[in-house]
Amino acid sequence: MDIEQLLSSITPDAYERLSYAVETGKWPEGTSLTQEQRDHAMQVVMLYQSRHNTEPQHMTVAAGGDITLKSKAALKREFSSNQETIVQTNVNND
């Protein structure tokens, strides 16, 4: 199987499972990966991202193969814009 066949056979669900396994070192069912499995899964995740990741996060591979690195300020802006204010209180007893 060549790379194109491999990438076309990976479903979004399979990608999520592989990504989880790479991040945690375990399959979603809890079984640990060997170092060889983790290395191979990481390669597949990076290849998949290089073809399908149109909205790359910090330290991921974007479509086209570029690694996305964001500055600390850019990450702060992104995180603050994605959060809703649930409760706001004044801690000063003026």
85 occurs within a structural domain:
no
54 occurs within a structural domain:
yes
Residues 61, 67: contact at Cβ < 8 Å? yes
Residue 56's pLDDT is what? Answer: 60
Residues 78, 84, 90, CA angle at the centre, nearest 5°?
110
Q: Smallest Cα–Cα separation from 45: which of 74, 72, 67?
A: 67
- Which of the pair, 4 or 22, is modelled with greater confidence? 22
89 occurs within a structural domain:
no
Q: What is the mean pLDDT of the chain?
A: 79
77 occurs within a structural domain:
no
Range of the domain at 9: 3-69
Instruction: Give the integer Cα–Cα distance in Å for 59 and 63.
Output: 13
Residue 29's pLDDT is what? Answer: 94
- Dump pLDDT digits (tens) for 41-63: 999 988 888 887 666 665 566 66
User: For residue 61, how many other CB atoms are within 10 A of its CB?
Assistant: 19
Given a cut of 80, whether residue 30 has pLDDT beyond it is: yes
Indicate the number of domains in the chain: 1
